[in-house]
Amino acid sequence: MAIILHNANRDQKKCISHEDKAIAAARLSKHPEAKKQLAACLLDKARTLMSARMDQKQVRKLVQEAGTIVPQCTEALDYERYQYACNAAMCYAMDGCTAQALEQMEATNEIAYAAPDSDLSIAEHLIEEVAPIRIELEQFQEAEDAVIQ
């Protein structure tokens, strides 16, 4: 999302247009990794929409479609599984589905802690993923604890 936002000069409509084009290209691609790329593009668009608090119905559709693709084309610790779990957790949190959000957040934790790139990657996970999901769930103390950790 950050690359697209940068290229679109933070214009949400332009950003979404770029993401739609990436999704279309991934759908048409015959590359062996095309399905994995499609899932990533779907999740990028979902994150853009969630960040702007736009079209939650479409967010759910994007996350659901990615959720059918990710298990088919990834291994247990692949980044796409992490990306899916993060997006699904936030989507559920925004929908007020606390149990499902926490279940997906646990999946993000399992991947993040299983094979961290560095201590910084864990800090990034806690600050950029866990804390915002906790805030969305109005679990402010848990969000604060994640940031402090």
This prediction's pTM: 0.86
Residue at 137: amino acid letter: L
| Structural domains of the chain in order of their starting residue, each with its CATH number | 2-148 (1.25.40.10)
User: What confidence score (pLDDT) does residue 110 get?
Assistant: 93
Nearest residue to 50 via CA among 39, 40, 59, 41: 59
- C-alpha pair distances (Å), 34 with each of 25, 40, 69, 95, 103: 9, 10, 11, 30, 28
Residues with Cβ within 8 Å of 78's Cβ and at least 6 positions away in sequence, in order, are 36
Q: What is the pLDDT of residue 136?
A: 94
> Tens digit of pLDDT per residue, the chain (149 long)?
444 445 555 678 888 989 989 999 999 999 988 999 999 999 999 999 998 888 889 999 999 999 999 999 998 888 899 999 999 999 999 999 999 999 999 999 999 999 778 888 899 999 999 999 999 999 999 999 999 98
